Structure 1
Amino acid sequence: MGGFVLKADGVEPCPLNAKQLHWLVMNHHIDYPAITTAEIWDKSKQDGIAKVITSVQAAYLIVECIGRATQCLAITTLELNTLAIVTCTLMTAFAWLHKPADVRTPFFVSTSKHIRDIIGNRSWRNTPLDSIDDNGPGWSMNVQPFMRMPVIPSQRPIQRIPNDRFPMNPYGAQEYCFCFATLLFTGLHIAGWNFAFPSQLERILWRVISLILFGVTAAFWALETMASWVRLGR
């Protein structure tokens, strides 16, 4: 991620997200990029036919499992787990419907100003425009450093916005889609509550893990909602 890269004196080129780009334009630090929709999609490596085939295969599995369930035919735990993953796949395809895929060469936006004239003396961790939007929270930028996992790039400013970035104010179709997909994923595992298992121990393990999975997911969304209210001053 990071389709736009800022070039300014006093700092290495760094990626911009939408909020940072908007701030730079509105404060007259850069001109509005004269880029067409066709130019954006021309950078996408997305194969429409492959997406259609994948979606049809995923939809077929969903319809097949629903049909077997209505006829009271057996569904294995492996099929149920696959069904949960496939459901998330379709949700991801919907969320990324208008997202160019595998873009490797960004659009560069330049300014004659020095970076200090843009941000002043503000400190930053990932890019000079962290004070506008810090590209977080996310697994690679927040959780991994907290767990002392040295796997994130050491170069600063960062050269790529991580794929796991979670916008600070993400309320919209993608947010609700994500919430529904995760709860559905965990809920489908609970659907195997009364499945036949080789042993009583395996049945108990399936039920316990399914409840933990659903409970952790529900708790995440409850805490994330409260955190969002705090961030938005509600």
Structure 2
Amino acid sequence: MAPLNSTLPYNASDLSGLSHGWMPQPQGRGTFSILWSGITTIFLCSWTVLCLNIPEPGMGRWGFLGYKLRWQLFAIIFPEVIAGMAAEQWASANQSVQKFRKLGYPQWTMRHAFFADMGGFMLESPDVPPFPVDGEQLAYLIERKYLQYPIVHEETIWDRNKADGFARLVTSVQITWFFIQCLARWAQGLSLSTLEITTFATIVATLNSLYFWYHKPLDVETPIILRTDSRIANILIDAGDRAREPYSRTPLDFLKSPPVRTSLVAPFWFGMGVVVNFEEESRSRPIRRFGNCKTRPPAGITIQETIYGLLFEFVYFGIHLVGWNQLFPTRAELCLWRVSSLVLLGLLITYLITIVVGIVLSRPVSRRWLAREVDTPLEVAAQLPRWAQLIIHVPILSAYLSARAYILLEGFISLRDLPLKTYVDITWTNFLPHL
């Protein structure tokens, strides 16, 4: 009988080197299986789990497809930001549920809260064009009798949900299987391709997004109209001084959540807005939809949530360091991988230090140098001139995009020469107890 390794396209007794070129499938693992598994997993992670807010009315099917494709590209480049966005939306929805319970409405669930914060309820009044109201604003209107509690059952909300249960199931099975395979290969000392390392990090972010967006409807395109007989002008007069300033988004801006001092996501969105204005809300005032990156928890973020966010970020960026001693096709590619991994981790550390320093210095700096005294780094940054904002944010975003782009690109170009251990299958029987 011929030995098993005689069927392999390489010498199974010496796995210390690199393969060259396209590796055919030996017993189930070759270049194609690595490439296909990585591509399908990244696609599923960036598409089926992406729960976006209700789009602009009248966008149409093709417009909505383009809208989601743009966010899918963003999710591939910034999966950790998507996870952070989902976490803050979850915190906001959770606080909304607690608020409604205090008002005597225990039937208000996480699904209702997510639906409200994603622009699911449009307020129609006699004197102002319809505009969306979030959970905090809805609770205010109900508490002060401007609006009756909307009798909307969970099933009604879920009927608007376009989630394909089978697609979600396929995604869950795929990422779970991929996750287990990676852990098993590490346990047995087998190599992972750089594409698999990048995909594994994406899965870690996606699992967080799946958890935090579990109750959020997917691909809802039409809101529910709530009608009030109260004039918006009277609501603003009753609110007093806090409602006197002109609004920037809707007449109920005076109820918007204050800047969160410890938010890990808000500074990123501010920088993106300075450089590329990634998501522009409707130009009409009041706006007709809520931007995906605008949700802020009304009561802020707890210490426990902040600690979890920090741990998640370090785990996500730290995964790329697994490839530190990987065999690369060239020395230059190894150096570029190491530099890119350190740049991403270094930017995270710099980002966190900047937030801490900004929190401490915001008040004295704004009192001495700026037009008015503020409490948060974002409020200080918002008062800086445009050129100063660009000087701060363009180099940071450019460094991040360069490092992230190289890591994504290297996952594909390194497939031409992979470590031979990458093609060895897992011996699953080694994980079974031996009697």
Distance 2:341 2:268 in 1: 27
My pick for the range that moved more, 194-203 or 11-20, is 194-203
User: Which residue does 1:58 correspond to in 2?
Assistant: 175
1:97 deviates by: 0.8
For the 8 Å contact 1:91–1:177, the answer to whether it is kept is: no
More strand by share: 1
SS at match of 2:328: coil
1:4 deviates by: 0.9
Distance 1:109 1:173 in 2: 36
Matched, 1:157 2:286: yes
CA 1:102/1:11 → structure 2, altered by over 3 Å: closer, same or farther? same
Residue type of the partner of 1:205?
L
1:1-234 map, 5 Å: 1-120=118-237, 121-133=244-256, 142-143=270-271, 145-147=273-275, 149=277, 152=280, 153-168=282-297, 169-171=300-302, 179-221=310-352
SS at match of 1:210: helix
Q: Identity over the aligned pairs, expressed in percent?
A: 31
My pick for the range that moved more, 72-81 or 101-110, is 101-110
SS at match of 1:112: coil
CA 1:148/1:15 → structure 2, altered by over 3 Å: closer, same or farther? same
1:210 deviates by: 0.9
For the 8 Å contact 1:135–1:166, the answer to whether it is kept is: no
More helix by share: 2
Bigger Rg, structure 1 or 2? 2
RMSD: 3.0
Residue type of the partner of 1:122?
E
Distance 2:218 2:304 in 1: 19
1:171 deviates by: 4.2
CA 1:214/1:89 → structure 2, altered by over 3 Å: closer, same or farther? same
Give CA deviations for 1:149-201 in whole Å, capped at 9, x if unaligned: 48623122111111223414244998776555443321111121111222333
CA 1:96/1:221 → structure 2, altered by over 3 Å: closer, same or farther? farther
SS at match of 1:193: helix
Q: Mind listing any 5+ residue stretches in structure 1 that lack a counterpart?
A: none
CA 1:9/1:175 → structure 2, altered by over 3 Å: closer, same or farther? farther
Give CA deviations for 1:189-223 in whole Å, capped at 9, x if unaligned: 11211112223332222122112212323444565
CA 1:32/1:38 → structure 2, altered by over 3 Å: closer, same or farther? same
Distance 2:288 2:258 in 1: 12
SS at match of 1:146: helix
CA 1:145/1:154 → structure 2, altered by over 3 Å: closer, same or farther? farther
For the 8 Å contact 1:135–1:165, the answer to whether it is kept is: no
Given the two structures, how large is their TM-score scaled by the length of structure 2? 0.47
Residue type of the partner of 1:202?
E
Given the two structures, how large is their TM-score scaled by the length of structure 1? 0.83
Matched residues, number: 229
